[in-house]
Amino acid sequence: MKKILCTLLASAALCASASANDVALGRAKADIACALCHGANGQASLPNAPNLAGQQAIYVSEQLKNYRSGKRQNEVMGVIAKPLTDTEIAQLAAWYSAIKVTVEAP
Ligand code: HEC
């Protein structure tokens, strides 16, 4: 599925598999800029912020780019995404997608 999506989107940056270094750099950035609302391990600490732990990297980076461009509008995330570079976005996406989550139905 990922391969098909990557082919369709023709985006090498999104589809290159993340290195351990990207994950570490993303984590360091997230600790400073994101953890307040999205939690230290991607489990949101604010009731109106979404969980990001285990989210697909392609989804996280697309949303960040959409906030950055204004295609997706949100007062808070628009401001936060504005200064992010493509590299930082890829690293943040690598970090959140690398977090392992387990799901248990009630
Ligand atoms: C002040 C709180 C706050 C901070 C800090 C913050 N966020 Fe958010 N984030 C939110 C809220 C609230 C939303 C939901 C916005 C919406 O409804 O579109 C959100 C949404 C998102 C989404 C979309 C998730 C989805 O399920 O569609 C992503 C991705 C995201 N944030 C990443 C980040 C990253 C990466 C950082 C750090 C660089 C960050 N956020 C920092 C509050 C925050």
Which CATH number goes with the domain that contains 49? 1.10.760.10
For the stretch 1-33, pLDDT in tens is 555 555 555 444 455 578 999 999 999 999 999
Residue 7 lies in a domain: no
The predicted model gives 63-69 an average pLDDT of: 98
Number of compact structural domains in the chain: 1
Atom 15 in ligand 1: residue holding the nearest Cα: 74
CA of 18 to the centre of ligand 1 (A): 21
Domain that holds residue 46: 17-98
Give CA–CA dist 18/51, Å, rounded: 20
CA of 7 to the centre of ligand 1 (A): 27
Residue from 22, 29, 38, 60 to probe ligand 1 pocket by mutation (most atoms less than 8 Å from CB): 38
15: Cβ contacts below 8 Å, ≥ 6 apart: 2, 5, 6, 9, 58
CA of 100 to the centre of ligand 1 (A): 19
Taking residue 32's Cβ as centre, other Cβ atoms within 10 Å add up to 8
Question: Which pTM does this prediction carry?
Answer: 0.89
